[in-house]
Amino acid sequence: MQLAYPLPFGWANTEDGKTAAYNDQQWLNGVTQNAAPFSDWWTKARIIQLAYCPMYNADDKVYQGLTTVDAIRQTLFEELYTYCQTRHEELCAEMYPGFFKSVNDEFIVETLTYWKNKQFTKAISRNFEVYRYIEKQRPEQGDRVNRNTFLVVSTAPISLVANRRLPHPDKFRPMFNVDELADLVNERQPNAITLRTHGYANPAHEFFKFLINEANALFDESAKPEQPWDIVEDGHFYIGYHWPSEFPLFNRGLILDSLSNIEILLKFLTSLFLLSLLPTAVLLGLLLLGGISLGMQWIWIMIGVYALWLSLFNLLRGVVYQRDRYRAVHYGAPDLAEFFWRLDRRLTPRLIGSRAAASKDMSAQAERILARKRLRVNLIGHSMGGLVLVNMLRVLSDRFGKDDQLDEQAGQFGDCLILGKMILASPDIPLELIREGRNNYVRSAMRRCEQIYLMSSDRDIVLRYLSTLGNWFTEPSVEMSGLRLGNLFLPPDAERVLRQRRRKGKRESLKILLVRGAIISRSAVQPTSAYDLFENITYLDCSKMRGVNATTLDLNPLTAIPIDLITAFFYILGRIDAHGGYFFTHTPSFKLMPFLMQAIAPTETEVRAQIDRWDPKRRMIRFLYRMSPTPGGNDSQDSSNNNKQEAEVVSPRS
């Protein structure tokens, strides 16, 4: 393949050329600063830089004006070897196999042609990056690439004026593109993939640390497990997904946003000032009608009202809840859907051959191969990450099939992937969405899962109070802003209550599920609820679990406020995490994760047995198994047997 354009490239020696040079350099420099080094789109931007002459104050170390394709290729590999030496990575080809496989003369010519044809945006249009976790070993062993742990990162920044924070190169090694991951999946044939994503207020560097701790615990080869479920087997891939989220109140994105948009900031301040005149005038009029003359004091009243409004609006923006929610729905979910779509698209020709994959009508033999090799995908979402997962499944449903699919096909998204379990930990999803007429995309997502597990807590003060405040102005109803799926809980005497109600049927039994507004609890299931969705969820009430709870008090109208105060006190001190403690590696909920990730459609008896191992006194986790058996699972017979044993349906003993 020959390049149709002469090298080196250059910009015209005119004012228009100068403007074009400035714009192109800003764009290319932005890509290389915000992309993972030696990834697909970083390499393509670097190729263009090497092809251009250093004109208009361009850095001559960056823009080198190379005259041949071979010179560009040699320079790229020299830069990679230098980079590996600075990182003390001796086996450069093994650490960057995708780069060595993909970057050749044809790749460079194709990239330069895309640029000249003004199609470069299409050439680098990837909204995610893939990394492998580099596990630290003993000094005599050196570092190694972890076989099972990966990181997928949305490339959307938290702000248009703030650069992305890339994973530390000593911890995560970038893969060239999703093709490299597809090659690895095809080579190793893992049993399943589990993808875990975070929630609100999780900046990149914090999530990377959490992922490392979780991976080290899940794949701890030095551990001596009592059962195979205690750690994750080698043939299982664990992927962390980070979508753009930021820390509340004081962060670089908020500050740069304001400083770079002074005119918009002034417009906001002026509008707020004019609006503050209205309540000031009303208050002043009432005082004058009462015969109270304030004189110049009304100015101080106006200033006070303005300052109060300004503080309130800045506080709402500073907690970044709505900013995170917007990014979760509009960046996090679509970018994750694109990752799975591209992974499936790359896996298909590797599993059945490129010719069969290119055919519009797939042969019966190809279908049988895919059915045998189809990869199970589990999803774990915390807090707002649950919203990301549900919306991601909504996007994939639109891409791969609607709700008219057969039950055995509902879990498929694409040719090579099938949905396994979805584990939602304290999901920031309105409870009202699980109602008839309001559950279109929630239903579409949930019906595709093999099983759904809900980890919740009535003591999650972050979800109950901050979510209510953040959604007060945006949700269409007060109930949607104040009641969250992650705040569901089971009563202390659930076993006795359920024994009384189960004779009346599953719908009556579901009324055991409770949710608290402020002080008084009420049934989470209402006459308008979508009972089939509630019946398909397995409930793990972690309200009294260590890591998320600081008091042994049972919830009632008298203890509701004291429980919240105690929880808030220990949460501020850092002794507990009422919202995210489910993923502390010492908690029963995390100890249960390897079992839930690996077991295929476990029965009620199997799940209860694992919970009892980590909570033998049954004081930390209250358990209610799904009312509807898993389609095609082993729990149908197990469920019918348990129905004959009224005392064994729910396991909490407070």
Does residue 643 register a pLDDT over 90?
no
pLDDT band at 100 (very low <50, low <70, confident <90, very high): very high
Pick 474 or 34 by higher pLDDT: 34
pLDDT band (50, 70, 90) for residue 646: very low
On whether both 536 and 492 belong to a single domain, the answer is yes
Contacts of 163 (CB under 8 A, 6+ apart): 33, 34, 157
Are residues 116 and 147 part of one domain?
Answer: no
573 C-beta neighbours (distance < 10 Å), count: 9
88 and 146 housed in the same domain: no
422, β-bridge pairs: 379, 452
Q: What is the mean pLDDT of residues 523-533?
A: 85
Angle between helices 384-400 and 333-352 (to 10 degrees): 50
Q: Does one domain contain both 54 and 159?
A: no
Residue 625 lies in a domain: yes
According to DSSP, the residues that pair with 516 across neighbouring strands are 521
Instruction: Identify whether 572 is part of a domain.
Output: yes
Do both 338 and 402 map to the same domain? yes
At 143, the pLDDT band (50, 70, 90 cuts) reads very low
Q: How confident is the model at residue 401 (pLDDT cuts 50, 70, 90)?
A: low
Lowest mean pLDDT among 11-25, 199-213, 239-253, 559-573: 239-253
- Where is the domain boundary, 318, 338, 362? 318
Cα 180 to chain centroid distance, Å, stands at 22
DSSP class of residue 571? H
DSSP code, position 123: H
Of the candidates 372, 393, 425, which is a domain's last residue?
425
Percent of the chain, pLDDT > 70?
Answer: 87
> Which domain covers residue 357, as residue numbers?
128-246+323-425
Q: State the pLDDT at residue 443.
A: 76
The pLDDT value recorded for residue 140 is 42
**Domain identity same for 307 and 184:** no
- Tokens at residue 445, please? 């997502």
Are the C-beta atoms of 45 and 35 separated by less than 8 Å?
A: yes
Q: What is the mean pLDDT of residues 575-591?
A: 95
Instruction: Give the phi and the psi of residue 130 in degrees, each rounded to 5.
Output: -120, 135
pLDDT of residue 382: 97
Average pLDDT over residues 193-210: 95
At residue 300, what are phi and psi to the nearest 5 degrees? -70, -30
The answer to whether residue 540 is domain-embedded is yes
How confident is the model at residue 285, as a pLDDT?
A: 75
Within a domain: 648: yes
Strands 172-174 and 128-135: antiparallel
CA 310, 312, 315, 316: dihedral to nearest 10 degrees?
A: -110
How far apart CA 402 and CA 501 sit, in angstroms, is 36
Instruction: Using the structure block, give the residue that is written with the tokens 């914090």.
Output: 206
Is residue 5 a part of any domain in this protein? no
- Convert the pLDDT of each residue in 614-623 to its tens digit: 999 999 999 9
**Torsion (CA) 544, 550, 555, 561 in degrees, nearest 10:** -150
Q: Look at residue 637 in the predicted model and tell me its pLDDT.
A: 53
Alpha carbon distances (Å) from 305 to 271, 288, 311, 335: 14, 18, 10, 42
Q: Where does the pLDDT of residue 581 fall: very low under 50, low under 70, confident under 90, or very high at 90 and above?
A: very high
Q: Which residues contact 635 (CB under 8 A, 6 or more apart)?
A: 601, 602, 603, 604, 625, 626, 629
Residues 6+ apart with CB under 8 A from 332: 154, 156, 197, 243, 244, 388, 391, 392
Residues contacting residue 631 through CB under 8 Å, at least 6 positions apart: 407, 408
Mean pLDDT of 32-55: 96
DSSP for 248-316 reads SSS-HHHHHHHHT-HHHHHHHHHHHHHHHHHHHHHHHHHHHHTT---TTHHHHHHHHHHHHHHHHHHHH
Please report how the helices 15-34 and 40-51 are oriented relative to each other, as an axis angle in degrees rounded to 10. Answer: 150
Do residues 408 and 503 both lie within one domain? no
**150 or 293: which leads in pLDDT:** 150
The answer to whether residue 434 sits within a structural domain is no
- Answer yes or no: do 524 and 623 share one domain: yes
| HEC sequence for 353-413 | CHHHHHCCCCCHHHHHHHHHHCEEEEEEEECHHHHHHHHHHHHHHHHHCCCCCCHHHCCEC
Length of the chain: 654
Give the strand pairing for 144-154 and 128-135. Answer: antiparallel
Confidence of residue 153 (pLDDT cuts 50, 70, 90): very high
Looking at the structure, tell me whether residues 121 and 227 fall in a common domain: no
The answer to whether residue 226 sits within a structural domain is yes
354 pLDDT tier (thresholds 50, 70, 90): low
| The pLDDT of residue 376 is above 50 | yes
d(CA 217, CA 25) in angstroms, rounded, equals 44
Across 135-149, 393-407, 474-488, the highest mean pLDDT is recorded for: 474-488
CA dist., res. 339 & res. 348, Å (int): 14
Shared domain check, 239 and 112: no
C-beta separation of 127 from 156 below 8 A:
yes
* Nearest by Cα to 199 from 470, 604, 537: 470
Could you tell me if 362 and 238 lie in one domain?
Answer: yes
Between 143 and 79, whose confidence is greater?
79
381-395, 433-447, 516-530, range with greatest mean pLDDT: 381-395
Mean pLDDT of the chain: 86
Confidence of residue 35 (pLDDT cuts 50, 70, 90): very high
| Total domain count, the chain | 4
The answer to whether residues 317 and 310 touch, using CB atoms and an 8 Å cutoff, is: no
574 in a structural domain: yes
Same domain? 216 vs 353: yes
